[in-house]
Amino acid sequence: MAHLTGRWNDVVRAAGLVAPDGTVRATVFAEMSALATRTGAINLGQGFPDVDGPAHVAEAAVAAIRAGRNQYPPGPGVPELRSAVALHQERHYGLRVDPDTEVLVTVGATEALAAAVLALAGPGEEVLTLEPYYDSYAAVVAAAGATHVTVPLRVVDGSYRLDVEAFRAAVGPRTRIILLNSPHNPTGAVLDRAELEVVAAAAREHDVVVVTDEVYEHLVYDEAQHVPIAGLPGMAERTLTVSSAGKTLSFTGWKVGWVAGPAALVDAVRAVKQYLTYVGSGPFQYAVADALTDDDGRTRAWLADLVGSLEKRRDLLCEGLETAGFDVVVPQGTYFVVADGRPLGFDDGAELCARLPDLAGVVGVPVSAFCRDGATGEGFRSAVRFTFVKQEDVLREGVRRLAALRR
Ligand SMILES: *Cc1c(COP(=O)(O)O)cnc(C)c1O
């Protein structure tokens, strides 16, 4: 494995990927997927759909390629997509953004988040995230030379909630960015208005920018509702809202993302983005523009079916995990459920995941991979993330196999 000596060594170290001998390991996601391939286990680790997104949107991409839209798109993104993002924000949330100055198209949400952190935070400044957190956050905070501060989510009445007291205590004069994620990967938590009010009040008080990762904005279940923090009083002027087509449309390989917010902040993100990738995903931008504009309502109908089906698949997996003996926190959104292995006698989720192919022919990802070293607090050390964005028969077979743990 590689041995990094430059600045990026700090980045991989912050991501927990440097082995005791100084070499750089693969991410746990790659490791667990390789484990699944090697052992023939069912991969409920990595979260990508095993069926395609809507056919009419795929056709729009084909049409864009055939129409010759294959050269570099404009730096900020094609106008059709910027307008569609603005329309989407207005239609779903009543948020108004100017497509010319307040929307930037990026190579997935990942690039938007990286460019935002690199643009706005630096040495001596703090970036606050929830814990557990999406794995790229720690890497880009380290790349910016900033300090990563985390606030844990905790289980309250059967769902993961923000530790409000810990959050208030963590925001201070050195906080530059609050990097939020709701609906939340890996816990499936959907922050409610009261929690977001706490975040917003702290951001206003300390004059902090909120960068909010909303890639699962449409994948919420039961009575839960996604509330964009940009819509709270005084927040539009200090919030960068990040989303992408990957999760919403089940086209995770297209890597079409965007960021929306006040022109000055979006400009700063663009200043970094132009030297990361410059542009990307040309023809797919037109297809996503069609999907978001959705003149004929086909995308809305497809999405409603997807959410209904994901909700059923979530229930199937959650019930199976409970039957197998896990403690399960039923998620309100996303592709994922977190299950605790302690009732099965496993205190260490990483160890459980390493043995799971042998014990049950299934692969999951330890939640410790979403936590800082040594900060994997009480709740998360023994926790495992499983995905339910797999076809129902795959989940049924996974659940059947997991039942072996009980014996
Ligand atoms: C999948 C995911 C992303 C990455 O989105 P892309 O559009 O594929 O770059 C970002 N944040 C979270 C929380 C995710 O789960």
Express each pLDDT in 264-310 by its tens digit. 999 999 999 999 999 999 999 999 999 999 999 999 999 999 999 99
pLDDT category, 22, cuts 50, 70, 90? Answer: confident
CA quadruple 52, 53, 54, 55: dihedral positive or negative?
A: negative
* Band of pLDDT at residue 3, cut at 50, 70 and 90: confident
Question: Taking each helix axis from N to C terminus, what angle separates 349-360 and 28-39, rounded to the nearest 10 degrees?
Answer: 20
| pLDDT, tens digit (0-9, with 9 covering 90-100), for 167-222 | 999 999 999 999 999 999 999 999 999 999 999 999 999 999 999 999 999 999 99
How far CA 351 is from CA of 32, 81, 132, 133, 358, in Å, comes to: 12, 45, 18, 20, 12
Write out pLDDT tens, residues 129-178.
999 999 999 999 999 999 999 999 999 999 999 999 999 999 999 999 99
The length of the chain in residues reads 407
**Mean per-residue pLDDT of the chain:** 95
CA of 341 relative to ligand 1 center, distance in Å: 26
| Residue 407 pLDDT exceeds 80 | no
* DSSP run (H or E) holding 180: strand 175-181
Closest ligand 1 atom to residue 256 Cα is 7
Measure the CA–CA gap between 21 and 339, rounded to whole angstroms.
32
CA 267 from centre of chain: 23
Dump pLDDT digits (tens) for 301-354.
999 999 999 999 999 999 999 999 999 999 999 999 999 999 999 999 999 999
126-131 β-sheet, strand order: 103-107, 256-260, 239-244, 209-213, 175-181, 126-131, 147-156, 159-162
Which residues does a 6 A CB cutoff place in the pocket of ligand 1?
108-110, 134, 181, 185, 213, 215, 244, 246-247, 252, 255, 257
Average pLDDT on 377-390 reads: 90
Q: What distance in Å separates the CA atoms of residue 293 and residue 299, rounded to the nearest whole number? A: 9
Residue nearest to atom 15 of ligand 1 (CA): 185
Q: Which atom of ligand 1 is nearest to the CA of 134?
A: 13
Confidence band for 14, pLDDT divided at 50, 70 and 90: confident
Write down the pTM of the prediction: 0.97
186 cis-preceded (ω within 30 degrees of 0): yes
Q: How confident is the model at residue 379 (pLDDT cuts 50, 70, 90)?
A: confident
The span from the first CA to the last CA of the chain, in angstroms, equals 38
